[in-house]
Chain A
Amino acid sequence: MEISVTVNGSVHAGDVEPRRLLVHHLRDDIGLTGTNIGCDTSSCGACTVLVDGESVKSCTMLAVQADGRAITTIEGLADGTTMHPVQEAFRQHHGLQCGYCTPGMVMAAVSLLAEQPDPSEADVREGLEGNLCRCTGYHNIVKAVLAAASGGGAS
């Protein structure tokens, strides 16, 4: 089926099988491999991207469902060499170790801050409940998101 998705501001038209998952479309058809596949069962959140600004697990969405939608992946956050405030906060606060969950964690945080620009610590912990990290114990991730919020929030 012919679909057209706007990914990080660029239109990508192509023919996909209806069963093509959005995450495979992004990684294998469009070549944006920043979005990771973790559990593949909509639990871990590693594959989180924004669809029309809202966080979604791209392993649990068909590419055909994204037809005509605007997708933002981790590659679309930075402005040239200037990191997005959430990315910068993750760097400043050591919000990652191995980095595998990081793209999804950052996208979930961007979505959370768009909905709740001034979250409490509890809001952040609940808001990231769909993303698993096996390294950090979450502490520095939460610190980073709170810092990004008080630093002006997400764009």
Chain B
Amino acid sequence: MIPSAFDYVRADSADAAIAALTEHGDDAKLLAGGHSLLPLMKLRLAAPAVLIDIGRLTDLSYVRDAGDHIAIGALTRHRALETDDLLAAEAPILRHAASQVGDPQVRHRGTIGGSIAHGDGASDLPAVLLALRATLVARGPSGERTIPVDDFFTGFLETTLEPTELLTEIRVPKVAGAGWSFQKFNRRAQDWAIVGVALVRNGSTGIGLVNMGSRPLRADAAEAALAAGASNADAAAVADEGTEPSADLNASVDYRRHLARVLVGRALDEAS
């Protein structure tokens, strides 16, 4: 399978990438590791006229202690996350979940920013960022803005990023010592989760769901139940409320709802 023809622009800085986005507008897509975009382009489900390669912006690849949070460059590869000592200490769920993305070859190329900007409800890391209540940093022609992760995912493969904006950084709170669990339920090792659950208990409880709707979702009803003092079992029983899972080869809608309840229950028990 071969992608449609496109013009290729290699950005040598974030500003150059933003300038190229501004020039080409909706016709352009950013290329980071390419492990979400290139498969879509090979299937001709995406056919950008211009591809702006940001894969060499090594200054956007980092994991840093930024005081009250951990700052992660958008071009940090999954492999770097899964071997990072700072994450192991301060946000171990993210390090663990990164080690569960795809397979080693995918993790050598794929980036956290690419995964988040792709906005796929079936991806692991968006759910983890929801559980962590992360903040995203986007840079555009008129400067930088921060976006709470809850405002970021707006629809099927759609985010609040403007066509001229570049996701530059992911900020996750330090949650050393917090209970956490990442449940990824699939049939084959390298598959996407049929359903996944990311959960962090740090005072309040944050629960992100994988593959329970057209976009990454928070388990609002279960979180609210816990905040009102519900038991783990009672909270898990409402974990699928407000979700809109779809059916596919792997699971029916009812089975996905069942999995969400069971996996949130397991996650709560593991994190308690």
Q: Which residues of B contact A54 (CB under 8 A)?
A: 79, 108
State whether A111 and B42 are in contact (beta carbons under 8 Å apart), knowing that A18-B7, A129-B189, A129-B190 are contacts in the complex.
no
Binding site for B on A (CB under 8 A): 1, 17-19, 21, 24, 40-43, 45, 48, 51, 54-57, 60-62, 64-65, 108, 111-112, 126-127, 129-131
Interchain CA distance A21-B3 in the complex, whole Å: 9
| Cβ–Cβ < 8 Å partners of B34 in chain A | 60-62, 65
Kindly list 20 other residue pairs between chains A and B, CB separation below 8 angstroms, not including A18-B7, A18-B8: A19-B5, A40-B42, A41-B1, A41-B39, A41-B42, A42-B35, A42-B106, A48-B105, A55-B108, A56-B105, A61-B34, A62-B34, A64-B10, A108-B104, A111-B108, A112-B104, A129-B103, A129-B189, A130-B190, A131-B103
Contacts of B6 in A (CB 8 A): 18-19
Which B residue's beta carbon lies closest to that of A126?
Answer: B189
CA gap between A111 and B79 in the complex, in Å: 12
Q: How far is the CB of B95 from chain A (nearest CB, A)?
A: 15
| Contact-size category for B | 20 to 34
B53 in contact with A65 (CB, 8 Å): yes
Docked-complex contact B8 and A61, CB < 8 angstroms: no
A129's nearest neighbour on chain B, judged by CB, is B189
Contacting residues, chain B, for A61 (C-beta < 8 A): 34, 38, 109
| B interface residues with partner A (beta carbon < 8 Å) | 1-8, 10, 31, 34-35, 38-39, 41-42, 51, 53, 55, 79, 102-106, 108-109, 189-190
Q: In the assembled complex, which residues on chain A have CB atoms less than 8 Å from the CB atom of B109?
A: 56-57, 60-61
**When chains A and B are docked, how far (Å) is the Cα of A111 from the Cα of B108?**
10
Interchain nearest-CB distance for B46 vs A (Å): 12
Residue of B nearest to A65 (CB): B55
A69 to B189 alpha-carbon distance, docked (Å): 30
Question: Which A residues lie within 8 Å of B8 (CB)?
Answer: 1, 18, 62, 64
The answer for the CA separation of A45 and B103 in the assembled complex, in Å, is 10
In the complex the two chains form, is B102's CB within 8 Å of A130's CB?
A: yes
A62–B132 Cα gap in the complex (Å)? 34
Closest B residue, CB atoms, query A58: B105
Q: Determine the chain A residues whose CB is within 8 A of the CB of B4 once the complex forms.
A: 19
Contact of A130 among B2, B53, B104 (CB under 8 A): B104
Task: Give the docked Cα–Cα distance between A108 and B102 (Å).
Answer: 14
**CB-CB under 8 A for A17 and B5, given A65-B34, A130-B102:** yes
Asked if A57 and B42 make an inter-chain contact with CB atoms under 8 angstroms apart, the answer reads no
If A56-B109, A112-B104 touch, whether A19 touches B2 (CB-CB below 8 Å) is yes
- Cα–Cα, bound, A75→B100 (Å): 31
What's the minimum C-beta distance from B11 to chain A, rounded to whole angstroms?
13
Which chain A positions have C-beta within 8 A of B108? 51, 54-56, 111
A65 to B108, CA, bound (A): 14
A140–B158 alpha-carbon span in the complex (Å): 44
Choose one: B38, B39, B104; the contact of A127 (CB below 8 Å): B104
CB atoms of B39 and A60 under 8 A apart? yes
In the assembled complex, how far is the CB of residue B110 from the closest CB belonging to chain A, in whole angstroms? 10
B3 near A19 with CB under 8 A, answer yes
